[in-house]
Amino acid sequence: MAATATTDATTTFDKKTWMGGVEPMNASYGKLMMWFFLISDTFTFSALLVTYGLIRFSYPAWDPAIHGEVFQFSNLYWPIPEKVYNSVPFFHGVDLPLVFVGLMTFILIFSSVTMVLAVEAGHRRDRADVEKYMLWTILGGLTFLGSQAWEWSHFIHGTDQGTIIRELVGGEWIQRTIFGANLIENQYGPPAFADLFFFITGFHGTHVLSGVVLNILIFYRTATGLYDRRGHYEMVEKVGLYWHFVDLVWVFVFTFFYLV
Amino acid sequence: MAGHHNPEFDNHSGTDVTPPQTAIIWRTFWILAGITALEFLIAFTMPANTLRIAIFCGMTIVKAFYIVGEFMHLKHEVKSLIWSILLPCIFVVWLLVALLVEGGSIFGLR
């Protein structure tokens, strides 16, 4: 499409097409590469979430008729997310299902908004506004990471009562109480449930962490005037794409891990 | 919050100061926040069944549309870029359906 440039009368060899003067798909090289990196990252996250779906469907769900009227944690069936994620910092012992994870979702969506505001300020080449919104975005990212650290810590240490499990050791059935979850045992349900929790939220958290590092870099380069000297704020847009992607992944993790 | 921009602000380049165009950004934010709030409402008022799962999936796709379309600006890119991002995702849907069926049959064999 770009080869039919009208700038050159002799269309035998359009130098611009092959010397980097033309942007395929009307997007700069950097933005295009970010998009294709993100699509490959989409596949990685999809593979993890699809694995979650496969393993979840291969386990029985809690059925009041078989497992008792009151829901209890057991490694025999998949837990109900509302019963697992029901704690909020400073409200010990209060049953607040999904409140904390909902708060985390709002924090991440909000930091996505401040990021897009930073991109918009970059279009206007308004350095102070870019700095302001980048700082808000970094703050949102750090708050999210802190919340996730608390969530993991709670998940690992478990509830006050723990869960009594029966297991076959050396030909004998023994009973013991386990607290919290790790990669081998899990008080909330089958061990695979905890494995998937650590892997998926951990992988997402790693993305948030690298996003925060990139945001700090962008903030630093904005504050030292690099993009003003360069004449455009496209780096803010590229890192913005990555940051929105992290938010997007969380939307899916939130639905498939916590809601469904 | 959108209106906090200082009009006498100097943008360091000394040229024209364009006002911020943030109305669409905040509208998208309120849509996303509203859908998330609605998801909570459904999570606590509706019994868990296939219909609820379908509603959650639908709302997630709507949220994804707004994040990718507006925040990531894909809606305003050229068609070839839009399709080269969207088409590969169809394979993800296929993989999801295939492996959920597979998971169901593993459950049946256990």
pLDDT digits 0-9 by tens, A212-250: 999 999 999 999 999 999 999 999 999 999 999 999 999
Between chain A and chain B, how many beta carbons pairs sit less than 8 Å apart? 144
Is residue B6 over pLDDT 70?
Answer: no
Please state the φ and ψ torsions of residue A185, each to the nearest 5 degrees.
-130, 160
Check if the beta carbon of residue B67 is closer than 8 Å to that of residue A239: no
Residue among A179, A11, A159, A1 nearest A84 (CA): A159
Which chain A residues in 200-259 lie under 8 Å from chain B, judged by CB atoms?
Answer: 225, 228, 240-241, 244-245, 247-248, 251-252, 255, 259
Whether ipTM tops 0.90, in short, is no
Of A65-79, B15-29, B53-67, give the range with the top mean pLDDT.
B53-67
Which has more confidence, A3 or A69?
A: A69
Q: Is A54 left (phi over 0), alpha (psi -120 to 50) or beta?
A: alpha
Taking the C-alpha atoms of residue A72 and residue A84, their distance in angstroms, rounded to an integer, is: 10
Q: What is the pLDDT of residue B16?
A: 54
**Residues 6 or more apart in contact with residue A84 via CB below 8 angstroms:** A73, A155, A188, A189
Q: Does B100 touch chain A (CB under 8 A)?
A: yes
> Band of the pLDDT at A177, cuts 50, 70, 90?
confident
Taking the C-alpha atoms of residue A198 and residue A148, their distance in angstroms, rounded to an integer, is: 11
Q: What is the pLDDT of residue A22?
A: 74
Question: Which residues on adjacent β-strands are paired with residue A163?
Answer: A178
Q: Which residue of B has its CA nearest to A236?
A: B72
- The share of chain B scoring above pLDDT 70, in percent, equals 84
Is residue A63 over pLDDT 60?
Answer: yes
Q: Whole-number mean pLDDT of chain A?
A: 88
Q: What is the pLDDT of residue A2?
A: 47
Q: Which residue of B has its CA nearest to A132?
A: B5
Query: Are B96 and A46 in contact (CB < 8 Å)?
Result: yes
Check if the beta carbon of residue A160 is closer than 8 Å to that of residue A93: yes
> Band of the pLDDT at A45, cuts 50, 70, 90?
very high
CA atoms lying within 13 Å on the CB side of residue A177? 8
